[in-house]
Homo-oligomer: A and B are copies of this chain.
Amino acid sequence: MYKMTWPEVKEYLKENDVVIFPVGSQEQHGKHLAEDNDSFTATEIAKRVGEKTGVLVAPTLPFGNSIHHMKFPGTMTLKFDTLVNVYKELCKNLIHHGFKKIVVMNAHGGNTSAIAQALREIKEETGIRIYSLMAFPSPRGFGAESTKVIKQEKGGHACELETSIELYLGQRVLMDKAEKWKQPKDTTAFEEKWGSKISWTREFHEITETGSLGDPTAATKEKGKLMVEAVVEEISAFIEDLKAT
């Protein structure tokens, strides 16, 4: 949508009411991935889904909630309240123009609470229910089957899964710098014992020294291709169903 003129958008709205709004983050992604990684991914997946379904794509919001990564230089973050307002206001702009089915395509787990809060408030204020989904594949989300190619035991950030996808999407990846998760030296016995049962405010640098959770060294472009194709296909199927509701 952002590369269109206003008469073109007006034309689209005569027959269509679906739009994809990609949201990402600017945050450290290990020693080997560029910091715009999630924004890049949301944009790329949205573009592919948009082309496949003929649905418009709004500009990508390149900042999100990355407060827990702030010890890593280059990370940028918005406060929770600000981020909720940003999501709300931008989605309400789309509603204002006549879009009735908005799909927030999110590529950063840290954004989910703020998105959920924004969506709830929008529904209360406008009656419109907005949809949000993850652009990355996951065992319980889109592309579930395809994630079985991943071998690492635990992951979740700048890991085998993410890195494979970036290799395929053409992101800037420094594979020779890739390092897997390493526990920080100053982790205490108390933290190790209770860390998984208690919620407390732990920053990413307290949990990983490299910035990665998982093993990015196992990533390949082939795995990425498999997962991207799966996720694009499944999300597109959802969009087609959505059009028809």
- For residue A193, CB closer than 8 A to chain B, the reply is yes
Instruction: Find the B residue at minimum CB distance from A113.
Output: B113
Say whether A97 contacts B74, CB under 8 Å: yes
Say whether B76 contacts A58, CB under 8 Å: yes
A137-163 CB contact bits vs B (8 Å, 1 = yes)? 000111000000000000000000000
Interface residues of A in 47-86 (CB under 8 A from B): 58-63, 67, 70, 72-82, 85-86
Say whether B6 contacts A74, CB under 8 Å: yes
Interface residues of A in 106-147 (CB under 8 A from B): 112-113, 115-117, 119-120, 123, 129-133, 140-142
Say whether A63 contacts B78, CB under 8 Å: no
* Candidates B33, B61, B73; contact of A98 at CB < 8 Å: B73
What residues of chain B lie closer than 8 Å to A182, measured between beta carbons?
Answer: none
* Candidates B62, B79, B116, B132; contact of A85 at CB < 8 Å: B79
Say whether B1 contacts A35, CB under 8 Å: yes
Alpha-carbon distance A171/B134, docked complex (angstroms) = 30
Say whether A93 contacts B76, CB under 8 Å: yes
Alpha-carbon distance A120/B199, docked complex (angstroms) = 11
Contacts A74-B1, A78-B90, A199-B133 given; does A241 touch B193 at CB 8 Å:
yes
Not counting A76-B93, A115-B199, a sample of 16 additional A-B residue pairs whose C-beta atoms are within 8 angstroms of each other reads A5-B28, A5-B30, A5-B32, A5-B34, A6-B35, A6-B74, A58-B76, A61-B63, A76-B90, A76-B94, A119-B199, A129-B200, A133-B197, A142-B197, A190-B242, A194-B241
Alpha-carbon distance A193/B234, docked complex (angstroms) = 12
User: Can you identify 27 A-B contacts, CB atoms within 8 angstroms?
Assistant: A1-B74, A2-B39, A4-B74, A5-B31, A6-B31, A8-B74, A26-B59, A36-B59, A39-B59, A58-B76, A59-B63, A59-B76, A61-B63, A63-B86, A63-B90, A67-B120, A78-B89, A78-B90, A82-B85, A113-B113, A115-B199, A130-B200, A141-B197, A142-B197, A193-B241, A197-B238, A198-B238
